[in-house]
Chains A and B, each alone.
Chain A
Amino acid sequence: LAKITQPISMDSYEGQEVNITCSHNNIATNDYITWYQQFPSQGPRFIIQGYKTKVTNEVASLFIPADRKSSTLSLPRVSLSDTAVYYCLVGDLVDSSYKLIFGSGTRLLVRP
């Protein structure tokens, strides 16, 4: 099964840029990389998705190197409300069966 690794936790301060990296060395060739944000007692919420190079939207950027074995979620100028758990999601081919795999999540704490 795909080994997806993320840091367990990160601390930051308001106004700083936060970069969270996910390692996914068995990503399926045609698959995209998706990041989700989850607040307590809520379901994960889509943040950003990409296939390669760089993707940017109104809340985040996603950097994907050429080998696609990792990805970095970048949150510019975080605020207290960005305190949440961040998950990356990739697909993997396991015994010819396609599976979607969530990472174990990175708990981000933003301090004043």
Chain B
Amino acid sequence: ETGVTQTPRHLVMGMTNKKSLKCEQHLGHNAMYWYKQSAKKPLELMFVYNFKEQTENNSVPSRFSPECPNSSHLFLHLHTLQPEDSALYLCASSQELGQGLYNYGYTFGSGTRLTVV
């Protein structure tokens, strides 16, 4: 366990379903992130939250909706997804958000493997 827990580990959903991914960290970190990792592509940053406030939306389609009720929890709500959205979705946290990773950088969860059918 890294200190960042993601549930579920695996998810299969139809294109008309609505589901949510959950991320939880008890590391005392103030910044949380969602990344998408597809086969043969680098890690793509989706959303950034700092002290519960969204600071970045990296041109993500509206069928992905993030929520950060507090600094320890992060959700990704999914609806009307497409098969090309199938990927590993990774949550990460860091001590703070800012220029320069002068701490130990990100702590990642194990991810949710999402398959859209």
Q: Which residue numbers of B lie inside 8 Å of A, CB to CB?
A: 2, 4, 41-43, 45, 88, 90-92, 99-102, 104-111, 113
Contacts and interface: CB of A to CB of B under 8 A. Distances in A.
Interface residues of A, number: 23
A43 B99 contact: no
Contact of A28 (B41, B99, B111): B99
B103 to A, nearest CB: 9
Interface of B is mostly: loop
28 contacts: A28-B99, A28-B100, A30-B99, A31-B99, A32-B101, A32-B102, A36-B105, A36-B108, A41-B88, A41-B110, A42-B110, A43-B4, A43-B91, A43-B108, A43-B110, A44-B43, A45-B2, A45-B108, A46-B104, A46-B107, A49-B101, A87-B42, A89-B105, A89-B106, A91-B101, A102-B43, A104-B42, A105-B42
